[in-house]
Structure 1
Amino acid sequence: MTVSSDPMQWQVGLLGYGEVGRILAEDLRKQGIKVAAYDIKLEREQARPLREHADGIGVELAQSHADLAARADLIVSAVTASQAVPVAEACAPAIGKEAWFLDFNSASPGAKQRAASIIDGAGGRYVEGAVMTSLPPYRIKVPLLLGGRGARELAPLLVTLGFAAKVASDELGVSSAVKMCRSIMIKGLEAMVIESFTTARAYGVEDAVLASLKETFPSVDWEKQGAYFFQRVIEHGRRRAEELREVAETVRDAGLAPWSASGTAERQAWIADLADEGVFGVRGMPEFARSADWRTEADRILARLNAGSRKAPA
């Protein structure tokens, strides 16, 4: 397969058809770009919404990782962090010669280097991409840092497709290190807000706590920020927990004990467990819609704990 020099003629293959994959698919299809996708959920009962979305915007669904890799000029890997290397392994035998492999996953520098070795060794061209903030508000224009020896060649091609891509380094692992260090702060703040606000609610002191935070950080709307953090973790805690485990590995590789990253991973995973149990309602149902008041979700957590059937992590 020869990769066209005109990215508008490419077929883009999306590995993962979750929130990130669907948003990218929508924005690429609006430009007339050919898009194919594969997600392991297509083999499960929850495949129907994914298939309906793909059919609605004209995305072809591949039968496997290899099927997707065989037809794509550019593969965008947007799966959970723990799967970054396995999906590279699954794609490598079928990847086209000099086809691009853009790794969106929130994986450690070491994992990115292993994935790059697999793809480059199979004749593809691996580039790491670090997504630097939440994708939904920005969509395809989300700030994207590229790294690796092919980053400078791929960057202008991605810009043509609508991405806000810029090169961080020719050295593989630098972009992901930036992402990992940022996640210690951002995902950690989410976990701290949930822990602080829910505890304050249990003691009936939430108004005093928020007033104190407002005095210290007057530019932050803590009511609004609290609601946003609660819902992002409820909806994406599982993925965030996996990312924080990669962050913890990154911290260990630097020689530090990852106390904050590991604790954040546990809190995010715990909230994901509660969501899976239905504490916050059923995904896809109206009661699971984002609440304008974080207190609603804190009360659900406290009610579950008070029922005695689930304990918070020690």
Structure 2
Amino acid sequence: MLQTVSPRANPPRLCFIGFGEAGQAFAGGLLEAGIVEISAFDIAGTQERVRKPAERLGVRLTNSLDAALAGADFVFSAVTAADSLDAARQVAPRLVSGQVFVDVNSVSPGRKREAAAAFAAPGAYLDLAIMAPVHPKRHATPCLVAGEAAERFIEIFGGFGMELGPAGPQIGSATIIKMVRSVMVKGLEALTYECFMAARVAGIDPLILDSLGRSYPGLDWPKVVPYNVSRMLQHGVRRAAEMREVALTLRELGIDPAVTEGVVLQQERLGRLPLQAEPEDGLAMLDAVRSALNRQASEPS
């Protein structure tokens, strides 16, 4: 009688190119789930913000791309949107037979297809889209996977607790779902900020909360507002980069990204403020944002 061998019996060796928030979250969760060996390479080198998490998690942080890739079965690219194509092109000629490049970066379908073109071997490139914030679920955050090797990837990493859905064999089929969804998700954050900053300045925020609560009773606006604004403050720069890719995606579809381009500006503006805020701060965080923007405007350019 044939028996199915669990992936845990022979866990794959992983490499992360880029070891920021997403890389650290996935690596930490996968190590706890049974992955044994993970290496990483980051352009930040051995700076404390990369070195300390690697040491804490037990990830082998290397000083060179070649050293990180050596022996890895799957190579996760978790760099910035701007660096994603360059990372793929640097890794592609270094891959050996059997290694798979997993592109988790938030970029347009066209950019992922361009990256995939650098990989000659069939199934050597996978398009993975992370569909929710990586905390608190880390590696179990819902993801979509597209590419020739998608089913094999899902079978292996599903055994380690990853929540993976197939998006088809065509590269770009996963990321386009994320890109189009982000029009709403990141756009709603920016609209929330703009609406309630105006309400706060006008002194009518309680009235706006009440009115929206009546129109959209399913949303807890006193919690939604500070959560959305805090996300912009914490991750606005990265979100702005993603929304540039969303705008590119819309153009690839023949759609004018007029609203999305405004979202880019608001996300980046808040993301560059030297503020730390948590949802528990409530609408008072808008006062801190306004003060910071006023100080910024008064500084000599």
TM-score normalized by structure 2?
0.91
* Partner-residue secondary structure (3-state), 2:22: helix
AA partner of residue 113 (structure 1)? R
Tell whether the 8 Å contact from 1:235 to 1:272 is kept in structure 2 after alignment: yes
Report the equivalent of 2:268: 269
Report the equivalent of 1:284: none
Q: Deviations over 1:94-123 (max 9, x none)?
A: 2221211111111100111011111x2268
Matches for 1:225-240 after TM superposition, within 5 Å: 225-240=224-239
Distance of 1:195 and 1:203 partners within structure 2 = 12
Distance of 2:294 and 2:151 partners within structure 1 = 55
- For structure 1, list consecutive stretches of 5 or more residues without a partner in the other structure: 281-287
Report the equivalent of 2:36: 33
Report the equivalent of 2:49: 49
TM-score normalized by structure 1?
0.87
Distance of 1:290 and 1:305 partners within structure 2 = 18
Q: Deviations over 1:111-152 (max 9, x none)?
A: 11011111x226871010111112213221111111112212
Report the equivalent of 1:283: none
Q: Deviations over 1:161-194 (max 9, x none)?
A: 3211121111111111111100000000011111
Report the equivalent of 1:285: none
Report the equivalent of 1:111: 111
Distance 1:205 1:289, change over 3 A: closer
Report the equivalent of 1:60: 60
AA partner of residue 288 (structure 2)? R
Report the equivalent of 1:292: 280
Report the equivalent of 2:131: 132
* Partner-residue secondary structure (3-state), 2:188: helix
- For structure 2, list consecutive stretches of 5 or more residues without a partner in the other structure: 1-5
Tell whether the 8 Å contact from 2:11 to 2:36 is kept in structure 1 after alignment: yes
Tell whether the 8 Å contact from 2:277 to 2:285 is kept in structure 1 after alignment: no
Distance 1:140 1:305, change over 3 A: closer
Distance of 2:55 and 2:296 partners within structure 1 = 44
Deviation at 1:70, TM superposition (A): 2.9
Pick aligned residue for 2:14 from 7, 12, 15: 12
Report the equivalent of 2:78: 78
Distance of 2:71 and 2:89 partners within structure 1 = 16
Report the equivalent of 1:304: 292
Matches for 1:58-207 after TM superposition, within 5 Å: 58-118=58-118, 120-121=119-120, 125-207=124-206
AA partner of residue 82 (structure 1)? A
Tell whether the 8 Å contact from 1:67 to 1:94 is kept in structure 2 after alignment: no
Q: Deviations over 1:179-228 (max 9, x none)?
A: 11000000000111111111111111111111111111111111111121
Q: Deviations over 1:38-72 (max 9, x none)?
A: 222225xxx21321221122110021333322332
AA partner of residue 241 (structure 1)? A
AA partner of residue 302 (structure 1)? R
Deviation at 1:247, TM superposition (A): 0.5
Answer 1 or 2: which has greater helix percent: 1
Tell whether the 8 Å contact from 1:95 to 1:123 is kept in structure 2 after alignment: no
Tell whether the 8 Å contact from 1:12 to 1:76 is kept in structure 2 after alignment: yes
Distance of 1:183 and 1:310 partners within structure 2 = 33
Q: Across the two proteins, how many residue pairs are aligned to each other?
A: 292
Misfit runs of 4+, over 6 Å: none
Pick aligned residue for 1:22 from 15, 24, 33: 24
Tell whether the 8 Å contact from 1:73 to 1:100 is kept in structure 2 after alignment: yes
Distance 1:32 1:126, change over 3 A: closer
Distance of 1:229 and 1:263 partners within structure 2 = 16
Q: Percent identity?
A: 33
Distance of 1:290 and 1:123 partners within structure 2 = 45
* Partner-residue secondary structure (3-state), 1:121: coil
AA partner of residue 117 (structure 2)? S
AA partner of residue 45 (structure 2)? L
Deviation at 1:6, TM superposition (A): 4.6
Tell whether the 8 Å contact from 1:148 to 1:171 is kept in structure 2 after alignment: yes
Report the equivalent of 2:3: none
